Amino acid sequence: MSPTGTPILRVRGVTKRFGGLVAVNDMSFDVGNHEMVGVIGPNGSGKTTMMNMISGVFRPSAGRITMRGRRLSGMPAQNIARVGVGRTFQLVRLLPGLTVLENVMAGAVFGHSRRWGGDAVDIAHDMLDRVGLDAMADAPVSALTYIDQKRVELARALAGEPEVLLLDEWLAGLNPTELETGIDLIHALRDEGRTVILVEHVMDAIRALCDRCVVMSSGAKIAEGTPDEVLSDREVIRAYLGDDDA
Amino acid sequence: MRPSGYLELLIVAVLVVLAALFPLVGSNLHIGVGLDMMMFAALAISWALFSGPTHYISLATAAFYGLGGLIVAMGMADYELPFWLMIAVAALAGGVLAALIGLATLRLTGVYFVIFTLGLAEMIRNLVSWIQNNFLGSHGFLIFSDFRDQHYYWMLLAVVAVVYLLGWVINRSRLGFALRIIGNDETVARHVGINTAMAKVILFTTTGFFAALVGAIVAPRWSYIEANQVFSPHISFLVVIMALLGGTTRLWAPIVGVVPFLLIWNWINGNLPNQSTLFIGVAFLLIVYVLPHGVVGRLEQLRSKIREGRS
């Protein structure tokens, strides 16, 4: 199934080998403009490695990743960020020595939009407000709860005004109430028409949020389609639960 | 950005003027101590420009300081070139050396960076010594100069003022913000779009430039200069300890370490000359166990605690 609208990001034949281990094997998929695509799969199926190749942590061993025709694979992470890919990390990474506001400003100052001075402060406040955390702007990050730390990280990614946003298990580790808040927040991003790739384990979130899903198992793509289609796919169920239950 | 920034500059300007008047009233002994303080203040502040925000501890100060000193000595003794020309050449050479070291050490972090810079400084010392002994037919250079201690003092004070002003500008720039982010988490820094390699090399080059400049300025004071002396790793450790003792959270914080350290250092060298290494060790333990963010960092902690207590 092809994406709705024009593809903005194309992944073609991407492979990543770590020594003898093939973590990602010949992955290809497209992401359309304003589309929310889920990358799902069992633990260790190579989802985060795939994200890391898009954001430039790793260089693919083979294949290419392009955004609006521009080749991202091979670029250093800072250039990919400037071209317009923003991300959050699987394990939250905040800057502990900086205030909440400064953490978000980091995204605005050096990212895709490259603002400075009052302009950067304004957008940082806007984004904190967006994730519902502006009251904490001057607090140290050590004063934040886990979900609030995740909010700050999301605000930092948004502050760079990325064209494509990567959320790596942004909902993981939240309690049921927080999860609801989190899903609403990402849903609001979707309503704004943002282009998002999310790696996720929470099935409710995938059903509620994703236009399309790419399912990975052992580094390769095993299915692609709407959440309902892929979640009822026999191959997908086998990948998650094993042969006996399929 | 913040109005208090300009107030800080004004205060520093007044202090610089007062410090400049000191040699007119102080005795020769006091000027000598003041000169040492100015020298280490310049070295420690410029060291902290890079190592403060990034937490990359550089032990290469001696390499730049020694290179600066040796270039001035060689130019003045062997080619009779003017002092002013030679300090400019020396500072530029220090900058170039630092840029090369920076490019070579980009991928090193933590303790590997520390050891590499120390090893490199030692390698340069031995290399220069070897070249001098085997090819230049002498162990060192004799330099003659009309400068007196107050002249060195004023020149070093000017360096301190320039370094301070530069640091003030950097801290208010994108570059300064980038360095703080790098010091917190380099992976995040890259992912928000910072060219981390470039930022680190620019700052390390600045540090090398000023360390070489300081070495160059004080070179004539040695009268007889040889590589083993001027490249002594002692100076690298002293700069690190003084800067960390004061702290690196503020531009002026290293001075808070430099002044008391040198007063005690001088007293120990005068009265218990065999215990100076012990003193360095004790100071280092003090930093690690009691003052991880320096005296200034500790005071700031106390201040914020008192504030919290009030509110």
Tokens of A9: 């990001």
Q: Are B245 and B287 in contact (CB under 8 A)?
A: yes
Q: In which domain, by residue range, is A4 found?
A: 1-81+194-246
pLDDT tens series, chain A, 246 aa: 555 567 899 999 999 999 889 999 999 999 999 999 999 998 889 999 999 999 999 999 999 999 998 999 999 999 999 999 999 998 899 999 999 999 999 999 998 888 888 899 999 999 999 888 888 888 999 889 988 999 999 999 999 999 999 999 999 888 888 888 889 999 999 888 899 999 988 888 899 899 999 999 999 999 999 998 888 888 888 888 776 654
Q: Which amino acid is at A2?
A: S
pLDDT of B2 strictly over 70: no
**What pLDDT, on the 0 to 100 scale, is given for residue A40?**
92
Chain B residues with CB under 8 Å of A107 CB are 192
A115-129 pLDDT, tens per residue?
A: 888 899 999 999 999
Question: Rounded to an integer, what distance in angstroms lies between the CA atom of residue B230 and that of residue B69?
Answer: 7
Asked if A95 and B174 come within 8 Å (Cβ–Cβ), the reply is: no
For residue A203, is it within any domain? yes
* Phi, psi dihedral angles at A44 (to 5 degrees): 80, 15
In a domain, A39, yes or no: yes
Of the partner residues B174, B185, B193, the one whose CB lies closest to the CB of residue A95: B185
Evaluate whether A80 touches A163 at the Cβ level (below 8 Å).
Answer: no
pLDDT category of residue B286 using cuts at 50, 70 and 90: confident
Calculate what percentage of chain B has a pLDDT beyond 70.
98
Q: Could you tell me which residues come within 8 angstroms of residue B215 by beta carbon, excluding any fewer than 6 positions away?
A: B64, B65, B66, B67, B68, B69, B72, B90, B94, B230
Q: Is the pLDDT of residue B1 over 70?
A: no
User: Looking up tokens 């999301």, which residue turns up?
Assistant: A154
Return the pLDDT at A246.
46
Examine residue A172 and state whether it is found in any structural domain, yes or no. no
Which DSSP letter does residue A3 get?
A: P
The closest alpha carbon to B32, from B42, B22, B45, belongs to B22
Residue A227, domain CATH: 3.40.50.300
Instruction: Give the dihedral of Cα atoms B19, B21, B22, B23; nearest 10 deg.
Output: 130
- Cβ distance of A111 and B192 shorter than 8 Å: yes
Cα(A78)–Cα(B190) distance, integer angstroms? 5
Indicate the number of domains in chain A. Answer: 1
| Residue B140, strand partner residues | B226
Nearest CA to CA, how far is A3 from chain B (Å)?
27
pTM for the model stands at 0.88
CA dihedral B37, B43, B46, B50 (to 10 degrees): -130
Per-residue model confidence as pLDDT tens digits over B106-126: 778 778 899 999 998 999 999
Q: How many angstroms separate the CA atoms of A79 and A65, rounded?
A: 14
Question: A112 and B193: CB-CB below 8 Å?
Answer: yes
Q: B195 to chain A: which residues are within 8 Å by CB?
A: 78
pLDDT tens per residue across span B224-266: 888 888 898 889 999 999 999 999 888 999 999 999 999 998 8
In a domain? residue A138: no
Q: What is the DSSP string of B60-76?
A: -HHHHHHHHHHHHHHHH
CB-based contact, B192 to chain A, within 8 Å: yes
Q: Which two tokens stand for residue B171?
A: 């801290």
Using one digit for the tens of pLDDT, what is the confidence trace for B171-203? Answer: 999 999 999 999 999 999 999 999 999 999 999
**Kind and range of the H or E element at A42?**
none
Which pLDDT score is estimated for A149?
A: 93
Query: First and final CA of chain B: distance in angstroms?
Result: 27
Residue from A138, A131, A168 nearest A152 by CA: A131
Q: How far is B178 from chain A (nearest CA, A)?
A: 8
Looking at every residue in chain B, the average pLDDT score rounds to 90
- A91, A110, A122: best mutation site toward chain B, by most B Cβ within 10 Å? A110
Is residue A73 in a domain? yes
Return d(Cα A107, Cα A94) in angstroms, integer. Answer: 11
**Domain assignment of residue A124, yes or no:** no
- Can you give the pLDDT at residue A4? 56
- Contact between B183 and A110 using a beta-carbon 8 Å cutoff: no
Bridge partners, A223 (sequence order): A215
Question: Which chain A residues are closer than 8 Å to B3 by Cβ?
Answer: none
Q: In 10 A of CB B108, how many CB atoms? A: 14
Instruction: Spell out which residues of chain A touch residue B177, defining contact as CB-CB under 8 Å.
Output: 102, 105-106, 109
pLDDT band at B211 (very low <50, low <70, confident <90, very high): very high
Interface predicted TM-score (ipTM) of this complex, two decimals: 0.89
* Dist. CA B182–CA B168, nearest whole Å: 18
Give A148→chain B minimum CA distance, Å: 18
In a domain, A106, yes or no: no
pLDDT (tens digit, 9 = 90+) per residue, B4-13?
678 888 999 9
Cα distances (Å, whole numbers) of residue B27 to B24, B154, B310: 9, 15, 47
- For position B79, what pLDDT does the model report? 87
Interface of A with B (CB under 8 A): 55-57, 76-79, 81-82, 87, 89, 93-98, 102, 105-107, 109-112, 114, 116-117, 156, 160
% of chain B surpassing 90 pLDDT: 57
Q: What is the pLDDT of residue A101?
A: 94
Q: What tens digit of pLDDT does each residue of B77-101 get?
A: 888 899 999 999 999 999 999 999 9
Report how far residue B30's alpha carbon sits from residue B33's, in angstroms, rounded to the nearest whole number. 5
